[in-house]
A and B are shown apart, each in its own frame.
Chain A
Amino acid sequence: MSAPSLGKDLVGLEPLSADQIELILDTAEPFKEVSERAIKKVPALRGKTIVNLFFEASTRTRISFEFAEKRLSADTVNVAAVGSSVSKGETLVDTAKNLEAMRIDMVVIRHGSSGAAQFLGQRIRSNVINAGDGKHEHPTQGLLDMLTLRDRFNRIKGLKVAICGDILHSRVARSNIWGLTKLGAEVGVCGPASLLPRNVQELGVTILPRIEDAIQWADALNVLRLQLERMESGFLPSLREYNRVFGVTTERLARAPKDLLILHPGPMNRGVEIDSDVADGPHSVILPQVTNGVAVRMAVLYLLAGGSPDWAQGGGDER
């Protein structure tokens, strides 16, 4: 096989090459079809055991991973931090080693601390997939965003994608920046300066100070969720003002030189970072993103388990 492998873990898009990212996106294509079947199941991961280890609340990502695992016929267990030994003070490494002692094959981890997925991957033999670690990366979200962009534009290279909102605290922003720039897109970041990381331009992105600048510049906007606690910690004055100054509204989009594709990783604060007219409008791909999320996660699970991309082209059916 000449195609690049992904290695043992997927902790982020920063360590991946363009070839590896394209491999995942290409592998996701045939898996899209599996979810359209009446019987949504292929045997690719039959006999594999996967633990979804979620230390932070998550609905969409956890369910998406679980569907991806089940549609690949893996056996899955969900562990939520609350009610487990984690809440009794067990360390992350002990939790993981105990799970591994039960002979699992893969761990999908969501954790509030940046670096938690890498930390785990270095300490257990199972494959580790990062489902979001602190403010670091959320690689499968970045991948599903790219798959959605590629569906609509038939390319990533040369696209101008503006990521709008709280870049400072966003793992989605970081994964998008790495993935998109590696595949040749231009990335802009737009948000209040208090929510832009220091030296962010050194990541190879353009700073767009106002939302109007982003709308003039971009082919697509990826609108981030504004965490409501940012007000209490002094980064922003109010939701109301955020919507007035940085909200993606129909009025603002009407002044765009072209129709912009609108992405949002969810869950949305309607009327804060994005108006309902826009979220529900003709250029929104927010629900196709969710659909693609399952396909991308199937591709990642499949590739890390050692699956061949050629085999996936057949929809993962046994031959």
Chain B
Amino acid sequence: MRPILIRGGRVIDPSRGADGIADVYLEDGKVASVGRDIGSPEQALVLDAGGKIVAPGLIDLHVHLREPGNEDVETVATGAMAAAAGGFSAVCAMPNTDPVTDNQAAVGFIVSQAQRAGKARVYPIGAISLGQRGQQLAEFGELVGAGAVAVSDDGKPVVSSHLMRTALEYARTFGIPVADHCEDPTLAAGGAMHEGIVSTRLGLKGIPSAAEEIMVARDILLAEHTGGHVHLCHMSTRGSVELIRRAKEKGLRVTAEACPHHFTLTHERCEGYDTNAKMNPPLREPEDREAIRQGLRDGTIDVICTDHAPHHYDAKEREFDDAPNGIIGLETAFGLAVTELVETGLLTLCDLVNRMSTMPARIFNLPGGTLAPGAPADVVIADPKAAWVVDPATFFSKSRNTPFGGRRLTGRAEVTVVRGQVVYQRER
């Protein structure tokens, strides 16, 4: 394997509080050294990073890669390529595949597909319950043994408080978090968007903020009761942020994520019944968007994730009620984060790398998230000033379902290195 020298970039490594011009030398799949004026060893591939940032590769704790089951809209390979193009060196794949990733063979299949693709790393997340049916616990031990890094019934909230409790307790054995999609299904049933003035105007059934907050509150209470690690997926309401803030003040093992669409858009985006604005949890109100931003600033929200959810064109070309939830996000997340959080002065670039790389690695206990010597050679070179316009036709993802087509963004990944190899390099 050819060593790589990344020269002259602004190296940002939140794990060591480092932010300054330096060279990064990668050898044998690891970070060999970071420093000024590392000479150019023979045979090394030299990447000029002048004017760019060099950071540990981004890590997305929440994606849907649709394989097995819906390979027409995404595969592990296309998803891992889209991830690499977005600056991600690793993604965690949710288990709502068909069949459900609730056993070691299914986990192993995703691991092997990811290895075959050789792009971004893909860590499977196993199901909490068999078939995501919310009844019987999946075999966490075997899931972890096969490569799962967390468990979740994502897309399906864990309705039974008893099951959530036992999952949190049992997961402690293996040191993995339990990630929950927080939604009270009796309040959310049939809902197509946030319940508020826009749903009233459009005549669409709304999902009240309380549907999320009730489950957030429950999960926090169960985390306190069990001492388990609960990870709260895609937080969308100001009430949830407040509940998590209080839980963290108490020192509970609660972590939380938020998606670019929730810190960028509001329910107004559903006007005109654009199904690319339909997702669950739904786009909420301006006050919610602001609370998510503040949560990312003060650390109440630990990480930014995409909830990348590919769907076929036909599936979204439907009546709003009948269209599936979700948008893709891997190739727009970094640009949205820089544009909405860094350019606005809310976060520094170092804060952003922390929320998109260092913290994700830490809370799911993954390799990466750091450029410390000996760390995996997973690196992103990004241009934080690149101005570009989102053109879904150019995406590596198989799907195009994004509300951000045509949007002007600042900040884009230029090169993504995984295991010491360039897996993505943007064409000039």
Contact = CB atoms under 8 A, between A and B. Distances in A.
A93 B201 CA distance: 24
A93 B314 CA distance: 10
Interface stretch (A153-161, A195-203, A276-284): A195-203
A158 B126 CA distance: 62
B200 A200 contact: yes
Given A198-B196, A199-B200, A203-B201, A91 B314 contact: yes
Interface residues of A, number: 25
A114 B197 contact: no
B195 A198 contact: yes
A133 B319 CA distance: 10
Contacts of B202: 114-115, 136
B199 interface: yes
A92 interface: yes
Interface string B299-323: 0000000000000001001111110
Contact of A133 (B199, B203, B314): B203
B199 A198 contact: yes
Given A113-B320, A118-B272, A198 B204 contact: no
Given A198-B197, A199-B196, A199-B197, A114 B204 contact: yes
A271 interface: no
A115 B195 contact: no
A221 B320 CA distance: 32
A203 to B, nearest CB: 7
A110 B165 CA distance: 47
A202 B318 CA distance: 29
A118 B272 CA distance: 8
B273 interface: yes
A311 interface: no
A115 B320 contact: yes
B287 to A, nearest CB: 13
Given A114-B273, A118-B272, A92 B203 contact: no
Contacts of A266: none
B206 interface: yes
A225 interface: no
A174 interface: yes
A116 B204 CA distance: 11
A134 B321 contact: yes
A171 interface: yes
Contacts of B201: 14, 174, 203
Interface in A33-55: none
A119 B318 CA distance: 8
Interface string A155-179: 0000000000000000100100000
Contacts of B272: 118
B319 A119 contact: yes
Interface in B205-230: 205-206, 208
A114 B203 contact: yes
A116 B200 contact: no
Given A93-B317, A115-B204, A203-B197, 8 more contacts: A111-B319, A114-B204, A115-B203, A198-B197, A198-B206, A198-B208, A199-B200, A200-B200
13 contacts: A91-B318, A92-B318, A114-B203, A115-B202, A115-B204, A115-B321, A133-B203, A136-B204, A174-B203, A197-B200, A198-B196, A199-B196, A203-B200
